[in-house]
Structure formats: structure tokens, C-alpha cells
């Protein structure tokens, strides 16, 4: 697209704000449950634009919509003798507070995906039709077959199937199907479809048009599981140098794609928001300093060793981790501006 109107950009920023609130609300709720004094609940970073004081906590909106935080007593310094200080809670209590943010993002994604599925239906990994003269038809795959594996990888959603075919780059695939309770193996070589510009094997999925609430939740959990696996595979590819930095997007790309999704309709927009919430959860759980996953690793060490990790070491690691994250965000933002993701 050439341009996304200001209205859709505003909608995109509001959606990002909602995801940040959802994440920080998880930390906030579990802090309160565990009796921790919360000094500030902030949406955004930088100078304060607006704020008000509650019974204990100050709620603020800040100038730069690039994140948010919950500031707890005793989070960054040792507070002796105060039972309401984060630092004086048990490792398990602190872990519950830390992981509550990502878990809230997972829950939010499940709820949104479930609402979309209930209203739009979903496609399954059961073959409903075969493209004439396609590889799938020629090797004997039949209507009603349930595709359960490709190259020893488990297939539980249609997205799993299309992803494995996509990454095959035309190489031969071993497809395992469940046919009336019996497993059958087929070797098939995908063909390149010029019209769709992607590899196909020639199967069409069965659609569930009007799923129940339980079916929608189950399907959403399956899709989330697949997306989480794909995310970690993509991260591994980037770290090992097999992925493309061109596909990496930062705040500018997120706002642009969010705006385009909003312009494409409410269901596309909600789908992208749920996807972003899931990515926020997955990335935050990475065992990296300054992220929730890094905090959790430190607290697990304390739990297992029954000895507190030196506060200076924790502070140094978090400072380094935070600095690296800020630098990465700046670099990705520059990349977004100079070499934007195509949509």
C-alpha cells in the first residue's frame, strides 16, 4: 500500500496501547495479589503527559508510546524490613509477578483468536478436495485424509501444513496421513504455482463454518501453539544467520502493518492484534536480561540454590540487557525507515 491514513495509524497506536496495558496489568494484578506495593503504573515512556494518584499507585501516561511499566517498591533496590517490597517476597511469589505479564498476553491472544474463530470459522488439516492432476492426487492422497505429519514434524493445523510446504522450497516431502485410523506415508514433490507465487501439493482443506465455543477455544490454542513454534524457529534462523534481517520489523513497521490491517477490516485487524499480543508474550519470555524471561531465570536460580543472587550482578545484567534492547530498537527503527517492510 502507498499510504495509510492518519485514522488507521491512530487505531494502530491505540491497539499497541491496549497490548501494553494487558501486559502490565498482569504484573500489576499479581503484585497486588502478593501484597507488593506498586508505586506507578505507566503507559509509555519519557516525560509524563497525564497522571492521577490512586489509593497507593500513581497511574500515568507518558510521551513516547514505546512500552510501559509497573514500578514496584523494592524492584530496583533493597528495602530492608518492608513486607510490601518486591525484593522481600519469596522467589515463587516474584516469579508469579514476573510471568503474569506474558501470560496475560497469551490469554488475550486466546480470547481474541477464539472470538474470530467463532465468527469466521476455521480450516482444518483434513483434505476436502484435490486439485486435478496435482502431485497429491497422483500419489494417492484421498478426500477425508487427515494430514498429521510432514518430514517427521507434527501437523495439527492447516497453517502447520502450509508453512512446511513453504519452507520446503520445492524439495520432496514425506507426508503422513490418518485414513480411518490407519497411518499412511506418501512422498510428494511440491510444484510452484505461478499465480499464487508459492509451492503447493494440491490439497484443499475442510472448513468448519460454525464452530462451537469449545471448538473455537481448542482451535485457537492449536493455532497459538503453531505460531509460538514458528516464532522460535524464525528467531533461531536469525541468530544462526539463516534468516533475513529484511523481514525484521520494529515500531514503525508494526504501526504500518496494524494500520493496513485495520483498513482491511475488523477481523483482519483483530487477528493481527492477537498475533502481536502473542509475539509480545513469546519475546518477553526469552531468557535475556531486562526481559521477563531473564528475570525468571535469575529467580529460578535463587529458588533452586536457596541463595539470593547478588543485587549488583542483577543490576549490571539488567542495565546491559536494557541498553542492548534500546540499541536494537533504534537500529530496527532506522531500518524500518530506510528499508521498510513491503505490504
Residue 203, beta-bridge partner list:
130
- Measured CA to CA in angstroms, residue 40 lies from 34, 52, 55, 133, 153 at distances of 16, 10, 11, 64, 46
C-alpha span between 4 and 241 (Å, rounded): 33
pLDDT recorded at residue 256: 64
* 177 phi and psi angles, rounded to 5 deg: -120, 155
- When pLDDT is cut at 50, 70 and 90, the band that residue 2 belongs to is very low
Q: Are strands 153-154 and 146-150 parallel, antiparallel or unpaired?
A: antiparallel
302 is catalytic: no
Helix, strand or coil for residue 242? Answer: coil
- When pLDDT is cut at 50, 70 and 90, the band that residue 1 belongs to is very low
pLDDT recorded at residue 84: 93
Task: Name the most confidently modeled range: 112-121, 267-276, 286-295.
Answer: 112-121
How buried is 255 (Cβ within 10 angstroms: 0-12 exposed, 13-18 middle, 19+ buried)?
Answer: buried
Catalytic residue among 3, 24, 39, 204: 24
pLDDT at 192 over 90: no
pLDDT recorded at residue 261: 67
Helix, strand or coil for residue 272? Answer: helix
Amino acid at each position: 500500500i502507498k499510504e495509510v491514513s492518519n485514522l488507521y495509524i491512530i487505531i494502530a497506536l491505540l491497539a499497541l496501547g491496549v497490548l501494553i496495558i494487558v501486559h502490565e496489568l498482569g504484573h500489576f494484578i499479581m503484585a497486588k495479589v502478593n501484597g507488593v506495593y506498586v508505586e506507578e503504573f505507566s503507559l509509555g515512556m519519557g516525560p509524563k503527559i497525564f497522571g492521577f494518584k490512586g489509593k497507593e499507585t500513581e497511574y500515568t501516561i507518558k510521551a513516547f508510546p514505546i512500552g510501559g511499566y509497573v514500578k514496584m517498591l523494592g524492584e530496583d533496590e533493597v528495602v530492608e524490613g518492608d513486607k510490601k517490597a518486591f525484593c522481600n517476597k519469596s522467589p515463587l511469589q516474584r516469579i508469579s509477578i514476573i510471568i503474569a505479564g506474558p501470560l496475560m498476553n497469551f490469554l488475550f491472544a486466546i480470547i481474541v483468536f477464539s472470538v474470530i474463530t467463532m465468527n469466521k470459522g476455521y480450516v482444518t488439516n483434513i483434505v476436502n478436495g484435490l486439485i486435478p492432476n496435482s502431485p497429491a492426487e497422483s500419489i494417492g492422497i484421498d478426500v477425508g485424509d487427515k494430514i498429521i505429519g510432514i518430514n517427521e514434524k507434527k501437523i495439527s493445523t492447516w497453517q502447520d501444513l502450509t508453512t512446511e510446504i513453504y519452507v520446503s522450497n520445492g524439495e520432496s516431502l514425506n507426508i503422513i496421513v490418518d485414513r480411518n485410523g490407519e497411518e499412511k506415508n506418501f512422498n510428494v514433490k511440491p510444484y510452484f504455482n505461478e499465480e499464487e507465487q508459492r509451492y503447493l501439493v494440491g490439497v484443499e482443506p475442510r472448513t468448519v463454518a460454525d464452530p462451537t465455543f469449545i471448538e473455537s477455544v481448542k482451535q485457537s490454542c492449536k493455532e497459538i501453539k503453531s505460531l509460538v513454534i514458528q516464532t522460535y524457529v524464525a528467531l533461531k534462523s536469525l541468530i544462526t544467520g539463516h534468516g533475513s534481517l529484511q523481514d525484521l520489523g520494529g515500531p514503525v513497521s508494526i504501526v504500518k502493518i496494524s494500520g493496513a490491517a485495520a483498513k482491511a477490516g475488523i477481523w483482519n485487524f483483530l487477528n493481527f492484534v492477537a498475533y502481536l499480543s502473542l509475539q509480545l508474550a513469546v519475546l518477553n519470555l526469552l531468557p535475556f536480561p531486562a526481559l521477563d524471561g531473564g528475570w525468571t531465570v535469575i529467580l529460578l536460580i535463587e529458588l533452586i540454590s536457596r541463595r539470593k543472587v547478588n543485587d549488583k550482578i542483577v543490576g549490571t545484567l539488567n542495565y546491559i540487557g536494557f541498553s542492548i534492547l534500546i540499541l536494537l530498537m533504534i537500529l530496527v527503527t532506522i531500518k524500518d525507515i530506510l528499508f521498510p517492510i513491503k505490504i
